[in-house]
Amino acid sequence: MNASASVALPRILLLEDDPVSAAFLSAAIASLPARVDAAATLAEARALASVHSHDLWLFDANLPDGRGADLLAELRGRGITVTALAHTADARRDALDALIDAGFEEVLQKPLSVAQLQGAIRRVCANRVPIAMDTSQHDEPIRCGKLPIWDDDAALRALNGHRAHVEAMRGLFAQELPRVSLRVSVALASEDATALRDELHKLQASCGFVGAARLGAAVAGLRDAQDATVAATRFRDALQDTLSSLSA
């Protein structure tokens, strides 16, 4: 008997504003299989939570219109007790601890592989989705070193070996990267630390999903830099290399 015919598929509310990350996460969740309600803003997620009964909420920590933790507190205040997981590219221990303190059951660090994401969902939605064929944890995000522009192996691992999916995700990445690079440049020029952190946070995750190794390492270096001038130069060089390869 087909599993979906005997057991109702879990319904998951995904809150993610970055288009590349949202596409990756939605595809990974749907392939469990599960139903996905995707939202790009707190307002959209609030509306979906009001009209649907979900088995799990998967909230990005930081959105253009607020924080995932604030939405969780609001929904909890309305008496909705759905299990919630947070996802973030922020690796700071205090930031991760704050999300747990806010009521999230677990915090997933981006970039995620399909196996990591699906494993977390299976832990919450026990007996609602098939047993994983491969729940191994793959490589941590690359932080430093002289790297190729693209790491195809990392991208294929993140997308369960589906090369067509990698190409599709890179196409979306190519569309978004010029806009993201402009916002990063503006934040650097204006010394807006908050805006810069938010943009780098999203870009780090996207780089991991598509295997943009050189740019991903440069983003991590800029985010954690003690000397922002040097790190910004390395970031711009990696960004130009990546943009050039996409337009070749």
Arithmetic mean of pLDDT, 71-83: 94
Type of residue numbered 79: G
Give per-residue pLDDT as tens, 163-217: 888 888 899 999 999 999 899 989 988 989 888 988 898 898 889 889 898 899 8
Using CA atoms, how far apart are residues 210 and 20, in angstroms rounded to an integer?
Answer: 9
Residues with Cβ within 8 Å of 156's Cβ and at least 6 positions away in sequence, in order, are 162, 163, 166, 211
Note the pLDDT tens digit of each residue in 80-90. 989 999 999 88
Chain CA centroid to CA 170, Å: 15
Convert the pLDDT of each residue in 142-162 to its tens digit: 333 346 889 888 888 877 788
What is the band of 35 on the pLDDT scale with cuts at 50, 70, 90? very high
- Nearest Cα neighbor of 104 from 79, 83, 122 is 83
Is the pLDDT reported for residue 140 higher than 70? no
DSSP secondary structure letter of residue 115: H
Tell me how far apart the alpha carbons of residues 213 and 233 are, in angstroms, rounded to a whole number.
17
Query: 137 pLDDT exceeds 80?
Result: no
**Residue 75 confidence class, pLDDT cut points 50, 70, 90:** very high
Rg (CA), the chain: 18
DSSP type of residue 31: T
Cα–Cα distance between 117 and 109 in angstroms, integer? 10
| CA 35 vs CA 4, 25, 82, 140: distances in Å | 11, 12, 15, 28
Mean pLDDT across 35-53: 95
- Count of other CB atoms within 10 angstroms of residue 133: 8
pLDDT at 13 over 90: yes
> Which pLDDT score is estimated for 134?
40
- Asked if 112 and 94 touch (Cβ cutoff 8 Å), the reply is no
Q: What angle do CA 146, 152, 158 make, to 5 degrees?
A: 110
Shortest CA distance to 35 belongs to which of 56, 16, 65, 61? 56
pTM: 0.66
DSSP string, 49-97: HHHS--SEEEEESEETTEEHHHHHHHHHHTT----EEEEES---HHHHH
